[in-house]
Amino acid sequence: MLNKSLANILRTTKKHLSLLETLGVKNVKDFLMYFPRSYTDASEFTQIIDVRTDQINVIKGKLSNLFNMRTKTGVKITRGLFTDESGSIQVVWFNQPHLIKMLPRNKDIILSGKAKLSMGKISLQSPGYEIIKQYEEQIHTGRIVPVYHETEGLNSKWMREKLKPLVDEWIVLFDEYMPEEILKEHNLLDYKTAIKNIHFPESDEILDKAQERLAFDELFLLQLKVLQKKWLWRSAAEPFSKKIETKSEILKDCIKSIGFELTNAQKKVIKEILEDLKQPFPMSRLIQGDVGSGKTIVAAIAALNVVKNGFQVAIMAPTEILAKQHYQTFIKVLNRFGLNIQFIAGSTTKSQKDDIVMQMKTGTVDIIIGTHSLIQEGIGFKNLGLAIIDEQHRFGVKQREILKSYGSPHLLNMTATPIPRTLAITIYGDQDLSIIDEMPKGRQEILTKVVPETKRIEAYRWVEDQVNKGRQAFIICPLIDESDVLQVKSVLNEFAFLSEHIFPKLKLGLLHGKLKQEEKDKIMSDFKENKINLLVSTSVIEVGIDVPNATIMLIEGSERFGLSQLHQFRGRVGRGEHKSYCFLFTGTLSEEGNKRMKAMETYSSGFKLSEIDLELRGPGEVYGVRQSGIPDLKMASLTDSKTIEKARVSAQKIIEKDPLLKTYEKLAEKIAELQEIHVQD
């Protein structure tokens, strides 16, 4: 019943129905789940004698002397006198002559709006109105009034008028699906009451309770889904034949040969991975580590252990630059152990690819490192024991599932984009979490400064001086081609301008995503060998670039990037022995932009910056909603650690008791419904 089309229910036009559809509202249920974005408290009436110009006034009284007139400039004005027991006030509406027929005289109505002082007289300017009808509830005034996300042609007043009868008539069809024990434990409002009061709250207190219930629901269902997924992932692999023992002596030899001491955080994470690999079910673990914290070394040690147990390892990275960086690191760290390590990507020739795939299928490849090429048709493994996905949020949900499907391997995800714990346990709750929160010894602190436009030339001269002393620099631009719309520096134009006018004596290189892979490789190779002094680039260098001699990161249009991305850029420097710097050039900054730039100057921790980014911009902007499977939360906040923790514990109890939700039919239906929505998205 709740899936009935609004076309059969609402008395309205096709245009309005079409506009609702653009908001994702097609049926009765969609409309009732279209929650207000905010509320206006119009529950307290103001007497006319107390009307103020600096607030919304809600007054109840009678209208008289209503007439239309036209000004010399052609503006139609409707004037009237509004009276209550304390006095009278002039009321004015502009270009609404129809009101003279709509508004009753000398009957109770409610007006709400701001007052204005003009020529010594105070008047209400274009107030909202509501005619009081006996036995009917006020919905626009005289209460806490819901305000909805609007689109041109659909305003909140229209939505309230259409929603009120729907709420009254259809709310009874919403079934309670939350287990009774959870409702009692957290003192939650029942589902019907919550939905009713989210639209038309009876009081501030019950509105708070409605928001609490619906926010809890979103976080609870989200976590129940990922915890069930975790249980299914473990149970589906039985009988599991990939228990991997720890080859302690080999690993000690490897760690000793690295040439530097591992941090305590790296040692802890390696121990967690090795323990997981011994379990009678496949590992599913997420490693979070800040830029330069040493995740790749940890992955290489884990891979060595898996190979020495007779299994293959696959590592997938989102870009060829990053995949190649991993390939070089693995070769360097594991070269003494006689492993067959191969690389596969878009630039690999067909004959090379065919040969490598044949080796993968026959089991002669020990470790294969590549891009999306690893999940293309025709790829296979003889005995894949471990799949490692780097920068997992850069891959779609389905792409990640393909790599997991090669015979239930152990799964290790890695990200250099630190995720706040609240977000990580909610979204990636099907994975165990490891955090490398310690930097290797000797890692440089990077001085970060926002450079005002007046200091631009001075900054350029300083950069040139540093290059003359032997250093190198990155210059990042947001776009490849010039954009009149965005008014941000194009990398092509900037490269030409800097080469000709600013740094004519220096060697500049240009790097962007539209170049062929061999061109990118040549440029990066020249930059590493210091044949290029300044590398002008797009965000293609966000991850996977390691040039210890590069000590300056200069970012144009910094306000166009999120904090996590700016932090990734900054992490490309500070990798050698020299002091490193990050300069942020900006356009006009909004209040939020100012906060983000200040945060970059103040904090060096990616984890701290990710929390600020999440608060300022929300999960969709920071992590890419559709790409990473993060839903659009209507009521809950992923920074609300208290509700997240409560929801997590409740979801955990349900899964421990009944992982397939056989005794929780309504809950199982709700989870299936969520998954269906997600698949459609």
DSSP β-bridge partners for residue 67: 79
Does pLDDT of 392 surpass 80? Answer: no
Phi-psi label, residue 23: left if phi above 0, alpha if psi -120 to 50, beta otherwise: alpha
CA distance 78 to 55: 23
Based on its alpha-carbon atoms, the radius of gyration of the chain, rounded to whole angstroms, reads 31
Does pLDDT of 669 surpass 60? Answer: yes
Enter the DSSP assignment of 124.
Answer: E
Q: Which residue, chain included where needed, has tokens 């002008």? A: 536
Does pLDDT of 625 surpass 60? Answer: no
pLDDT band at 679 (very low <50, low <70, confident <90, very high): very low
Most trustworthy range by pLDDT among 377-391, 413-427, 602-616: 377-391
Segment (H or E) for 33: none
Look at 419 and 211; give whichever has higher pLDDT: 211
The C-alpha angle with vertex 331 and arms to 317 and 438, in degrees rounded to 5, equals: 65
Q: Which residue, chain included where needed, has tokens 């919403």? A: 174
Residue 315: Cβ within 10 Å count: 27
Look at 577 and 361; give whichever has higher pLDDT: 361
pLDDT at 259: 81
Does pLDDT of 482 surpass 60? Answer: no
Segment (H or E) for 156: helix 156-170
pLDDT band at 504 (very low <50, low <70, confident <90, very high): very high
Rounding to the nearest 10 degrees, give the CA dihedral for residues 666, 668, 670, 676. -150
Indicate the angle between helix axes 295-307 and 320-334, nearest 10 degrees. Answer: 60
The model's pLDDT over 285-315, given as tens digits with 9 standing for 90+, comes to 999 888 778 899 999 999 999 999 999 999 9
pLDDT at 584: 96
pLDDT at 388: 93
pLDDT band at 533 (very low <50, low <70, confident <90, very high): very high
The model's pLDDT over 71-86, given as tens digits with 9 standing for 90+, comes to 888 899 999 999 999 9
The model's pLDDT over 122-135, given as tens digits with 9 standing for 90+, comes to 899 999 888 887 66
Provide the CATH number for the domain formed by 248-278+294-415 in this structure: 3.40.50.300
Residue 601: Cβ within 10 Å count: 13
pLDDT at 678: 47
Does pLDDT of 677 surpass 80? Answer: no
pLDDT at 502: 94
- Exposed e or buried b per residue across 152-184, where buried means at least 16 C-beta atoms within 10 angstroms of its C-beta: eebebbebbebbbebbeebeeebeebbbeebbe
Contact predicate 115/122, CB 8 Å = yes
pLDDT band at 620 (very low <50, low <70, confident <90, very high): low
> Among residues of the chain, what percentage have pLDDT more than 90?
50
CATH superfamily label, 446-603: P-loop containing nucleotide triphosphate hydrolases (3.40.50.300)
pLDDT at 264: 94
What is 44-142's CATH topology? Answer: OB fold (Dihydrolipoamide Acetyltransferase, E2P) (2.40.50)
Q: Which residue, chain included where needed, has tokens 């609404």? A: 96
**Strands 580-584 and 550-555, sheet pairing:** parallel
The model's pLDDT over 583-601, given as tens digits with 9 standing for 90+, comes to 999 988 888 889 999 999 9
pTM beyond 0.95, yes or no: no
The model's pLDDT over 138-157, given as tens digits with 9 standing for 90+, comes to 788 778 889 998 888 888 88
CA distance 448 to 208: 42
pLDDT at 201: 94
Average per-residue pLDDT for the chain: 87
Question: Can you tell me the mean pLDDT for 272-279?
Answer: 95
CA distance 438 to 130: 61
Rounding to the nearest 10 degrees, give the CA dihedral for residues 351, 356, 359, 363. -160
pLDDT band at 463 (very low <50, low <70, confident <90, very high): very high
pLDDT at 624: 46
pLDDT at 593: 86
Tell me which of 4-18, 244-258, 649-663 is least confident. Answer: 4-18
Q: Where are the domains of the chain?
A: 44-142, 248-278+294-415, 446-603
Most trustworthy range by pLDDT among 270-284, 428-442, 512-526, 662-676: 270-284
pLDDT at 2: 84
Most trustworthy range by pLDDT among 358-367, 542-551, 565-574: 358-367
Question: Can you tell me the mean pLDDT for 13-23?
Answer: 90
Q: One fold for both 44-142 and 248-278+294-415? A: no
